[in-house]
Amino acid sequence: MSTTLRMGVIGFAHMHINELMRQMHGQPGVEWVACADTVPAIPEMVEAKNTRGWNKNAIALGELGIPKGYDDYREMLDKEQLDLVIFCPENAKHGEVAEAIAAHGAHMLTEKPMAASLSEALRMKRAADRAGVSLITNWPITWSPAVRTAQRVIAEGLIGDVWQVKWRAGSMGPLSHGSVHPGVDGTMVEITEVEKGATWWHHAAAGGGALLDYCCYGACLSRWFIGEGAVAANGMVANLRSHYGDADDNAVITVRFPKAIAILEATWSCLDHGVPTGPIIYGSTGTLVVDRAHGRQVLLLKRGRGAEPVEVDLDTLPEGRATLGQEVMHHIRTGEALHETLQAGFNLEAQAILDAGQRSAKSGRLELVNDMDWCVG
């Protein structure tokens, strides 16, 4: 790899691509080379803020000035020499795109969830291992000082044994009026239900739906806070208001760990949370609540019934590794391990939780969580 890190982009379906690009754009020693979108199964009807056409044309080619735009991402990979490729196609296309990138010897950065299914996530991990490249999955919550401090408090034993982790995330949907996404200034403008129905978000075959969009955070956090793999899960999904697509817009997964449980809630039919979204971590000697107060995120520690919560001073994220862009560059330049939540092995375990929840929602039964030790091979 040359001194300059040559970067490309594949896939603009997920609006979080904008934050990933911006994170890498500001890093020293990087150069944009080219970008390309994947071909959607259903062509989108409008180029509004946060839709794939807008993400590519307004942000990638416009604001960030990526010099070349290809119609075919495979042609881009064949013609350009790239060191790192950021990719955010539909969740269901993560496997095929990662396999193509790995075959060309480039490191990979994508956004949560790792994939639409465990089989596709395994496909990605095996491709990266064969090629000897890094497969990095970003979680916006990784860069929350409150969440990072909560993990440190747990690791130090200040709330005893973790017995339960609860996560709830909700909105009126990713393309709903007023929704806010990282990397994009301002809120989403109104688009019609017919226009929403032409986006991948509302189609199960593309990996759309609230379960993958929001329960994935809970899968990540519960695995991280509890500190060991899950063993079984119950899942339930429903489409309550998004009649213009067949993907779920509400989901709940309950997860059994060897010595704890987790409750993961996701909704695209929520005007206001009403309660702390969390995470909430219940321990044997205390409870941690990540909430918002005074216009910022806070971490509260509660001990005993009726006790007043105490606000915990938040840790400063490590110098030189306090942002996604810094973390990725540090890893590529030094070879040091990524933050745990960004690593492929960890993300396979989070994906396995989602996979069991998905299977349970279809079967109506408790489903076992697959063991990654024998799955990866």
Tell me which residue of 64, 59, 87 sits closest to 74, measured CA to CA.
87
- Regarding the domain delimited by 142-318+350-376, which CATH topology (the fold level of the hierarchy) does it fall under? Dihydrodipicolinate Reductase; domain 2 (3.30.360)
- The per-residue pLDDT for 339 is 98
Q: Token match 């017995």: residue?
A: 163
Segments of the chain assigned to CATH 3.40.50.720 = 5-140+322-339
- Coil, strand or helix: which one is 195? helix
134, 338 contact by CB (below 8 A)? yes
Q: What three-state secondary structure class fits 279?
A: coil
Residue ranges matching CATH 3.30.360.10 in the chain = 142-318+350-376
pLDDT of residue 26: 87
Two structure tokens written together for 231: 């063993």
The architecture CATH gives domain 5-140+322-339: 3-Layer(aba) Sandwich (3.40)
Residue 184: the pLDDT is 66
Q: State the pLDDT at residue 189.
A: 74
- Quick one: pLDDT at residue 1? 53
Q: Which pLDDT score is estimated for 294?
A: 85
pLDDT in tens, the chain (377 residues): 568 999 999 999 999 999 999 999 989 999 999 999 999 988 999 998 999 999 999 999 999 999 999 999 999 999 999 999 999 999 999 999 999 999 999 999 999 999 999 999 999 999 999 999 999 999 999 999 999 999 999 999 999 999 999 999 999 999 886 666 676 666 667 789 999 999 999 999 999 999 999 999 999 999 999 999 999 999 999 999 999 999 999 999 999 999 999 999 999 999 877 777 889 999 999 999 999 988 899 999 999 888 889 999 999 999 999 999 999 999 999 999 999 999 999 999 999 999 999 999 999 999 999 876 556 55
pTM score, whole prediction? 0.95
Locate 133 and state its tokens. Answer: 């490249």
Among 161, 146, 152, which residue's Cα sits nearest to residue 287?
A: 161
CA distances (Å), origin 11, targets 35, 67, 70, 153? 8, 16, 11, 38
